Amino acid sequence: MDSILLKIPLTFIGILLVPVLLNFLWPAPLVRFILWCSQQINGLKVGYAEHNGYRFCYYSRGKPGLQPSILMLHGYTIHKIAWLLVLHFFPKDIHVICLDLPGHGGTTCLPGESYTAFDQVKRIHEFVECTRLNGKPFHMVGISMGGMLAGIYAAHYPSEVCCLSLLCPIGLRFPKDTDVFKRAKDADISVIPSNTQEGLLMFRTCSYHFYRFPKQCIKGFFGDWLLESNFFRKCFLDVFNEESLYSLQENMSKIQAPTQVIWGKDDKMVDVSGADVLAKGIPQAEVHLLEKCGHFIPADSPKKFSQLLLDFYTSHTKSEKLTKPKN
């Protein structure tokens, strides 16, 4: 009996020690578990779409209906998890898809694949067609590299996009460049982290509120991230080559959809002066500059961003059922 009573507190202590050990010894599995929990809490399903031997991976929630669907494109080196904090504030009756861009996350990564802006847009269009997302016009959202791709997509497939939200996109001639972007334009491969410490520094640069995120969790994320570093170098060189470097600027005049531009005033990756470029180049574009917000808008200002996005979505759709983000 005594031995049984002794085992109970020992078992309890053991259960408590598991996340502690994971946190300090194996942070990457802990991060995967946290992301899985967040996915479950948000009611997201992981889906796959096959097209000519190419596999796309994505989050989805809700079903297509009278309201336009929302397609969300993440930035360079991250994947669909970029939107987890934001989706918490979205009404669950909106059909949302968060796509892993070519080579990122669970979407196919081919050694000889080209990842220039236009080649990625072609792949995204393949995904849209094979999932029949273009059965009716949808709201397209993109951040950073994903913002560049969303803008080009809207320019080339205008009948498929009913409204467009661009978050601090690249692909522009910026009146002012950040130090990081200057190096990127020069194809300086050293801007890509090669170890966890450099990854932590990059996260500090991307996020105004980096201190909100436990250091061990960031280490865990970059532990997995570094496994894909060869792909990220290839993608970097393709995105910042001559063909892609100013591709959004060269195509923005073709954008017909109502457009929303959102930028963090404290963006240290891509200068906020790009918002003015888009405002001048896209007729009647709405511009929102966020205080105390860096490049990673979904993490720095998830509720404010969600409110702006949903207000814009509502104002350009006929549905009256949408509500403000929940608390």
* Lowest-confidence pick of 53-57, 186-190, 249-253: 186-190
Nearest-angstrom CA–CA distance, 92 and 43: 8
How many domains does the chain fold into?
Answer: 1
Residue 226, classed as helix, strand or coil, is: helix
Mean pLDDT confidence for 300-327: 77
Whole-number average pLDDT of the chain: 84
pLDDT of residue 1: 43
**In the predicted structure, residue 180 carries a pLDDT above the cut 80:** yes
Nearest-angstrom CA–CA distance, 293 and 289: 9
Q: Is the dihedral of CA 83, 107, 180, 239 positive or negative?
A: negative
pLDDT of residue 226: 61
Give per-residue pLDDT as tens, 26-38.
556 666 777 778 8
**Considering only CA atoms, which of 141, 168, 149 is closest in space to residue 288?**
168
Give per-residue pLDDT as tens, 96-134.
999 999 989 899 888 788 999 999 999 999 999 999 999
Residue 161, classed as helix, strand or coil, is: strand
pLDDT of residue 33: 77
CB 120 within 8 A of CB 80: no
pLDDT of residue 200: 73
CB 143 within 8 A of CB 164: no
pLDDT > 70 fraction of the chain, expressed in percent and rounded = 82
Q: Is residue 300 part of a domain?
A: yes
Q: Is residue 20 part of a domain?
A: no
Say how many C-beta atoms besides its own lie within 10 A of residue 197's C-beta: 11
**Phi, then psi, of 156 in degrees rounded to 5:** -90, -25
Q: Is residue 213 part of a domain?
A: yes
Q: Is residue 35 part of a domain?
A: no
What the block records as the tokens of 304 is: 């404010």
Q: Is residue 188 part of a domain?
A: yes
Residue type present at position 134: N
User: What is the end-to-end Cα distance of the chain in Å, rounded?
Assistant: 49
pLDDT band at 7 (very low <50, low <70, confident <90, very high): very low
Q: Is residue 163 part of a domain?
A: yes
pLDDT of residue 191: 76
Q: Is residue 191 part of a domain?
A: yes
pLDDT of residue 298: 94
Give per-residue pLDDT as tens, 276-296.
999 999 988 999 999 999 999
State the residue range of the domain holding 159.
44-315
Give per-residue pLDDT as tens, 183-206.
888 877 777 777 777 777 777 888
Q: Is residue 126 part of a domain?
A: yes
Nearest-angstrom CA–CA distance, 78 and 84: 12
pLDDT of residue 16: 38
Mean pLDDT confidence for 52-58: 91
Residue type present at position 284: Q
Nearest-angstrom CA–CA distance, 75 and 66: 29
pLDDT of residue 172: 96
pLDDT > 90 fraction of the chain, expressed in percent and rounded = 56
**The domain spanning residue 146 has which CATH number?**
3.40.50.1820
pLDDT of residue 224: 61
**Considering only CA atoms, which of 101, 84, 115 is closest in space to residue 150?**
101
Contacts (Cβ under 8 Å, ≥6 apart) of 119 = 102, 113, 238
**In the predicted structure, residue 323 carries a pLDDT above the cut 50:** no
Nearest-angstrom CA–CA distance, 138 and 86: 18
For residues 34 and 235, the model is more confident at 235
User: Can you list the alpha helix ranges (DSSP code H) found in the chain?
Assistant: 2-25, 27-41, 84-87, 117-130, 145-156, 179-185, 196-206, 215-225, 229-239, 247-251, 274-281, 297-300, 302-315
Catalytic positions, written as ranges: 144, 267, 295
pLDDT of residue 271: 96
Q: What is the H or E stretch that residue 61 is in?
A: strand 54-61
pLDDT band at 257 (very low <50, low <70, confident <90, very high): very high
Mean pLDDT confidence for 144-152: 97
